[in-house]
C-alpha cells in the first residue's frame, strides 16, 4: 500500500520525538509498504532541518521514495474548494498545504500518516477519499 507521510510525522521522527506516528513511520520504513512523499513535504522537511549534518544522506533517502505530485491545475482548484467548504462548515483549516497534501494523496490512492489536526479534520470531513494510516495508541 502507498502511504504519504506528512511533515508533522517526519519532524517527530527526525527529532526523535516519541509519538505513535513516529513509531508507525519507523515500522513503515522497515516494511514492504510504499512510503511516499511530495514536493510540499520535501520543502517543509528540509527547511526545518536545524543542522547540515546528515542532510545529504536524508536527501538520498527522500530521492528513493515514491514522489507524488499534483498533476495540473485541477487538483489545486479541488484543494481550494475543500478549504472553502470546510470554512463554510465553520471549520477553518490553518494551511492550504494540508488541503493540497490530502488531494494529492487522494489522486494517487494513498493513505496518509499525519500528526496534524487540520489534515486529520480534512480526512474526517468526507470531502476526500483518503484514509489515515493506522497508528497504535498507547
Residue 132 forms part of a structural domain: no
pTM: 0.93
Mean pLDDT computed over every residue of the chain: 94
Q: Which residues contact 59 (CB under 8 A, 6 or more apart)?
A: 46
Residue 114 forms part of a structural domain: yes
Q: How confident is the model at residue 137 (pLDDT cuts 50, 70, 90)?
A: low
Distances from the Cα of 48 to the Cα of 42, 43, 60, 76, 108, angstroms = 10, 9, 17, 24, 26
Residue 90 forms part of a structural domain: yes
Residue 23 forms part of a structural domain: yes
Q: What is the CATH number of the domain that holds 104?
A: 3.40.50.1010
Q: What is the pLDDT of residue 25?
A: 97
Residue 131 forms part of a structural domain: no
What residues make up the domain containing 41?
2-124
Residue 138 forms part of a structural domain: no
Domain count, the chain: 1
Q: What mean pLDDT comes out for the span 35-48?
A: 96
Residue 137 forms part of a structural domain: no
Q: Which residues contact 76 (CB under 8 A, 6 or more apart)?
A: 70, 100
Q: What is the pLDDT of residue 89?
A: 96
Q: Cell 536545524 sits at which residue? A: 50
Q: How confident is the model at residue 4 (pLDDT cuts 50, 70, 90)?
A: very high
Give the model confidence (pLDDT) of 54-109 as tens digits: 899 999 999 999 999 878 899 999 999 999 999 999 999 999 999 999 999 999 99
Parallel, antiparallel, or unpaired for β 2-5 and 34-38?
parallel
Q: Can you state the percent helix, strand and coil of the chain, rounding each to 5?
A: 55, 10, 35
DSSP H or E run through 59: helix 55-64
Q: No. of H helices and E strands in the chain?
A: 7, 4
Residue 37 forms part of a structural domain: yes
Q: How confident is the model at residue 136 (pLDDT cuts 50, 70, 90)?
A: confident
Amino acid at each position: 500500500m502507498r502511504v504519504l507521510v506528512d511533515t508533522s510525522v517526519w519532524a517527530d521522527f527526525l527529532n526523535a520525538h516519541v509519538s505513535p506516528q513516529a513509531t508507525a513511520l519507523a515500522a513503515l520504513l522497515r516494511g514492504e509498504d510504499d512510503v511516499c512523499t511530495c514536493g510540499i513535504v520535501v520543502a517543509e522537511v528540509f527547511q526545518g532541518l536545524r543542522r547540515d549534518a546528515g542532510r545529504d544522506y536524508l536527501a538520498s533517502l527522500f530521492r528513493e521514495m515514491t514522489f507524488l505530485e499534483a498533476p495540473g491545475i485541477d487538483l489545486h482548484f479541488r484543494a481550494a474548494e475543500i478549504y472553502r467548504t470546510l470554512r463554510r462548515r465553520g471549520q477553518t483549516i490553518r494551511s492550504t498545504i494540508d488541503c493540497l497534501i490530502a488531494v494529492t494523496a487522494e489522486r494517487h490512492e494513498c493513505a496518509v500518516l499525519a500528526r496534524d489536526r487540520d489534515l486529520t479534520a480534512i480526512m474526517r470531513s468526507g470531502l476526500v477519499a483518503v484514509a489515515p494510516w493506522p497508528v497504535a495508541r498507547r
